[in-house]
């Protein structure tokens, strides 16, 4: 599991130490959470149980009540005894309250880079794709809404942006409200990834037309980075609208399937 359990536990343990050192800043109810008194071994076993759920045909926490192969999963994680639904549900409810999402994302990104053996030496390895996954949120609370493409409805949701490597593997997420804008997430994602690996690694970014904005283009220029995106038809008239660097050439983008004639170039 790419040392995932230990990485997650290390982040949790460090955060628990910080909370205990600044206990006066937290409420009594917060300080009474079970996760704050759990040992590293217990947390590791619970995290391993969660990561191994698909192996045992478990898709939801509720399955700890039903299809849970009690002896098998307990033996694999080293706990011996089976975990109950309420134990795991409480663990998952307390974990987000530690506010470790950004730290954990960066630590996991570094772990993925090492596991995938990305050296950032070639142009391909320094090229990244940024995209958004819009997740519907079923809640009675008043939270921002956005257009959910799959359901073709405006729903309460969260926007989860991902930066992928050149092989399409997601490395690091960034969660924003459902009415967020891709252009505002591009550079925070790039900065978070580069902070995670400890150096500048993004030379080339690819994103869709939602990120189109003069301010975004200018920011890429100022940072000395390149990008590829898709322009809308009303944003240019012809090739003369573009500045073409010396010694560069247009490459075929679209051809007419009937005649083979090039209709659009990039």
pLDDT of 266: 52
pLDDT of 237: 75
pLDDT of 214: 85
Could you give the C-alpha distances from 113 to 58, 129, 160, 196, in angstroms and in order?
Answer: 28, 15, 20, 10
pLDDT of 170: 95
pLDDT of 252: 52
Rounded mean pLDDT for each run of 10 residues along the chain, 266 residues in total: 86 96 94 96 92 85 74 73 87 96 95 93 94 92 90 93 95 94 95 95 92 88 89 71 67 72 65
pLDDT of 3: 84
Distance CA 229, CA 198 (A): 27
pLDDT of 71: 65
Q: pTM score, two decimals?
A: 0.79
Q: Domains along the chain?
A: 4-99 (no CATH), 103-253 (3.30.420)
Burial environment of residue 76 by CB neighbours within 10 A (0 to 12, 13 to 18, 19 or more): middle
pLDDT of 229: 85
Q: Mapped to the 3 state alphabet, what secondary structure does the chain carry?
A: CCCHHHHHHHHHHHHHHHHHHCHHHCCHHHHCCHHHCCCHHHHHHHHHHHHCHHHHCCCCHHHHCCCCCHHHHHHHHCCCCCCCHHHHHHHHHHHHHHCCHHHHHHHHHHHHHHHCCCCCCCCCCCEEEEEEEEEECCCCCCCCEEEECCCCEEEEEEEEEEEECCCCCEEEEEEEECCCCHHHHHHHHHHHHHHHHCCCCCCEEECCHHHCCHHHHHHHHHHCCEEECCCCHHHCCCHHHCCCCCCCCCCEEEECCCCCCEEEEC
């Amino acid at each position: 599991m790419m040392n995932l359990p230990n990485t997650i536990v290390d982040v949790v343990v460090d955060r628990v130490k910080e909370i205990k050192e600044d206990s006066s800043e937290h409420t009594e109810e917060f300080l009474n959470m079970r996760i704050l008194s759990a040992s590293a071994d217990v947390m590791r076993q619970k995290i391993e149980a969660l990561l191994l759920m698909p192996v045992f045909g478990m898709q939801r926490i509720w399955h700890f009540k039903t299809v849970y192969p009690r002896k098998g999963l307990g033996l694999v994680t080293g706990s011996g005894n089976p975990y109950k639904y309420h134990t795991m549900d409480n663990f998952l409810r307390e974990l987000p309250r530690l506010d470790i999402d950004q730290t954990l994302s960066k630590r996991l990104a570094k772990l993925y880079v090492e596991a995938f053996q990305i050296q950032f030496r070639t142009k391909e390895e320094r090229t990244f794709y940024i995209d958004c996954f819009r997740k519907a949120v079923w809640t009675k609370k008043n939270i921002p809404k956005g257009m959910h493409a799959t359901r073709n409805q405006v729903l309460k949701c969260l926007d989860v942006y991902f930066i992928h490597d050149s092989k399409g593997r997601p490395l690091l997420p960034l969660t924003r409200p459902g009415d967020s804008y891709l252009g505002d997430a591009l550079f925070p994602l790039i900065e978070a990834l580069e902070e995670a690996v400890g150096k500048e690694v993004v030379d080339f970014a690819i994103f869709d037309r939602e990120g189109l904005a003069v301010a975004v283009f200018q920011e890429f220029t100022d940072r000395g980075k390149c990008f590829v995106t898709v322009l809308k038809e009303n944003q240019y008239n012809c090739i003369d609208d573009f500045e073409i660097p010396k010694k560069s050439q247009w490459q075929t983008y679209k051809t007419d399937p009937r005649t083979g004639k090039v209709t659009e170039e990039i």
